[in-house]
Structure 1
Amino acid sequence: MTDSLVQPITDREALPVELVDEAGHAVGTCPVSQAHQSPGMLHRAFSVLLFDESGRVLLQQRAAAKTRFPALWANTCCGHPAPGEPVAAAAAVRLAEEMGLATELTEVGVYRYHADDSRTGRVEFEWDHVLVGRLEAGSPRPDPAEVADYAWVTPEALRAALGSDPGLYTPWLSGVLDVAVDPTPS
């Protein structure tokens, strides 16, 4: 007899990602692990930043077991939509999985970046959809396999910390914060 409440273990590195061209149009798929091998393959991703009623942003410290940029501080959550999956829907699922939170998310822009992780030998090359939300109720309940810690900080304090000690943060956090706090009109 199987327990229907037990979720199957998923190898996130084997999941498919959507490859995109320089304009963000879908051009194919490949596994997560392949997209993040040097020199990297440009693919669709998302980054979520949640704000509280006083304007602070929720950060997470990535778990030490992460395959890319482990133990660094990052945005509230991030991930990859499945090929053809709506970005906001995928982001809502990851927000629940990583941080145990649910709220309405709004896409505010895209941040395209390329970053090498010298510690793991992996690469991020992402067409990163930035989504924001406001957390009005609830407290983070992070999955320890994904998140080592979390903190609420003001955008101003985060910008200062990114400038004074950038090595503690993921290389995409500054760009994601810029898009989230000061989105460019479409």
Structure 2
Amino acid sequence: MKRLFDLALALVALPLCLPIMLAVALLVKLTSPGPALYWSQRVGRYNVLYRMPKFRTMRIDTPAVATHLLDDPERYLTPVGKFLRKTSLDELPQLYSILRGDMSFVGPRPALYNQDDLIALRTERGVHRLPPGLTGWAQINGRDELPIPVKVDFDTYYLLHRTPLFDLYVLLLTFVKVLRREGVQH
């Protein structure tokens, strides 16, 4: 049922988001060298790696690590990078990953392939059995501000309490948080 919901919502959202996505792609291309999309190796369901697209918010010479591990993340942002992250417009290409079945609308945010501590803790708690999400319970409860153990506590709560109604609640709260631009550090 969750997969059918994801497909239906993605098929409705894609035509609505396509003009915005084209404008963002053009904006990224016009303001910094390199491709509009950045494809990163992410950890999916059962810890299987997949390639996840995002609009590029960082310069092409940025090290491939989690943003919070960079010495000075601000210096790597493109001219429009901060805006795209604050508005979460950089996440729109993940509709592709949802259509492919690599992601869901709601679930734990996908870890980078090299976030060993996060991957290990999620695996220990069984969270790795869930498809990663465009948004999730941890996202709306702190996003970038959460330490990894707290993030996994929220992911575990979602694992144990997930229902279609809870997913709708998370999506609604995500929309509110994005409009308020809450929880984004970089």
Asked whether the two chains share a fold, i.e. TM above 0.5, the reply is: no
Between Structure 1 and Structure 2, the one with more helix by share is 2
Q: TM-score scaled by structure 2? A: 0.23
Q: TM-score scaled by structure 1? A: 0.23
Between Structure 1 and Structure 2, the one with more strand by share is 1
Structure with the larger RCO, 1 or 2 (CA within 8 Å, 6+ apart): 1
